[in-house]
């Protein structure tokens, strides 16, 4: 077997170097990601140009590219905070966020790749402690959950607005109170509900009594007016009309004889 030509050795070495250079000179940025270019022989992190977008890119082999997720992400956090009266409250919350794409270079240069841990998470914890500390456990349990959610969002957003982070939403998923406090609140709420039901029934009964009273008074007034309107003359007229109607009946024989003490006819008949 012939010996390997000496000229082939440097060619193989050059080929390997070229492969390494080409491999180091390309990068593919995936969907929902962006790249920050670091120029080793230049001024470091490139902050005056937009970050590298999705797709295939050629990069000088002596430079580096740091890839960040730029689509919306979710951060879950369980926190222990104190209410206004010093009781420990557990809160399960999550944050929807993403880095500001146009400022991705500054985020990398000033905050670093672990910005979620060093910037966003402490901001959420600080805002949650501040907000929850304004409310009692009863308020947190019943009517103020939506309010504290919005307030935590507002305060967190103020903290991170200059940190190149876009905060989209804060969601308070659960508020856990100490068992004894929770039972006391639920017992109080049941008592309040029973009291409201009793007041409702009492008010309903009072209104029904007033209605019956008004109805009875109306009937009394009507009877009084009717009684005053029934004079002897009217009664006689009504009696005559009734007598005439009765005389028209085909099932009766009517005999009118004189008149009674009241001046009305006396009617005798048989079927």
Looking at the predicted structure, is the pLDDT value of residue 66 above 60?
Answer: yes
pLDDT in tens, 257-271: 445 555 555 555 555
Element (H, E) at 124: helix 121-132
Looking at the predicted structure, is the pLDDT value of residue 189 above 70?
Answer: no
**Cβ within 8 Å of residue 243, ≥6 positions away:** 256, 264, 265, 267
Mean pLDDT of 151-163: 94
Reduced to 3 states (helix: H, G, I; strand: E, B; else coil), residue 225 is helix
Tokens 């910037």 -> residue = 119
Lowest mean pLDDT among 26-35, 44-53, 200-209: 200-209
Give pLDDT, residue 46: 93
- DSSP state, 270? -
Under a CB-based contact definition with an 8 Å cutoff, are residues 259 and 266 in contact? yes
pLDDT in tens, 39-61: 988 889 999 999 999 999 988 88
Give pLDDT, residue 191: 64
pLDDT in tens, 87-145: 888 889 999 999 999 999 999 999 999 999 999 999 999 999 999 888 888 777 766 77
Report how far Cα 6 is from the mean position of its chain's Cα atoms: 77
Give the confidence band of 62 by pLDDT, cuts at 50, 70, 90. confident
Phi-psi region of 4 (alpha: psi -120 to 50; beta: other; left: phi over 0): beta
Domain boundaries, the chain: 8-69, 73-177
pLDDT in tens, 207-259: 877 878 888 877 777 777 766 666 666 666 666 676 666 666 665 555 554 45
Give the confidence band of 1 by pLDDT, cuts at 50, 70, 90. very low
88-99, strands of its sheet edge to edge: 73-82, 88-99, 165-176
Tokens 């005053």 -> residue = 228
**Cβ within 8 Å of residue 123, ≥6 positions away:** 156, 159, 160, 163
- In 3D space, the residue among 151, 163, 16, 10 whose CA is nearest the CA of residue 81 turns out to be 151
Q: CATH for 73-177, among 3.40.1440.60, 1.10.10.10, 3.30.479.30, 3.40.50.10470?
A: 3.30.479.30
Give pLDDT, residue 164: 96
64-69, strands of its sheet edge to edge: 44-45, 33-39, 64-69
């Amino acid at each position: 077997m012939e010996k390997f030509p000496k000229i082939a050795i440097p060619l193989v070495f050059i080929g390997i170097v070229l492969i390494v250079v080409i491999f180091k000179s390309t990068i593919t940025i995936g969907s929902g990601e962006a790249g920050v270019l670091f120029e080793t022989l230049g001024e470091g992190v490139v902050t005056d140009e937009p970050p590298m977008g999705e797709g295939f890119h050629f990069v000088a082999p002596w430079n580096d590219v740091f890839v960040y997720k730029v689509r919306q992400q979710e951060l879950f956090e369980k926190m222990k905070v104190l209410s206004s009266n010093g009781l420990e409250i557990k809160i399960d919350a999550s944050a929807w966020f993403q880095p500001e794409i146009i400022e991705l270079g500054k985020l990398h240069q000033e905050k670093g790749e672990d910005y979620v841990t060093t910037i966003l998470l402490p901001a959420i914890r600080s805002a949650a402690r501040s907000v929850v500390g304004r409310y009692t456990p009863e308020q947190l349990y019943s009517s103020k959950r939506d309010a504290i959610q919005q307030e935590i969002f507002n305060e967190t957003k103020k903290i991170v607005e200059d940190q190149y982070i876009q905060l989209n939403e804060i969601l308070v998923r659960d508020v856990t109170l100490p068992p004894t406090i929770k039972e006391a609140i639920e017992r109080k709420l049941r008592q309040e509900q029973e009291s409201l039901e009793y007041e409702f029934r009492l008010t309903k009964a009072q209104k029904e009594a007033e209605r019956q009273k008004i109805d009875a008074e109306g009937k009394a007034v009507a009877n009084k007016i009717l009684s005053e309107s029934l004079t002897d003359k009217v009664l006689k007229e009504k009696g005559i009309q009734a007598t005439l109607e009765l005389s028209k009946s085909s099932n009766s024989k009517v005999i009118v004889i004189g008149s009674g003490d009241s001046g009305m006819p006396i009617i005798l008949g048989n079927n």
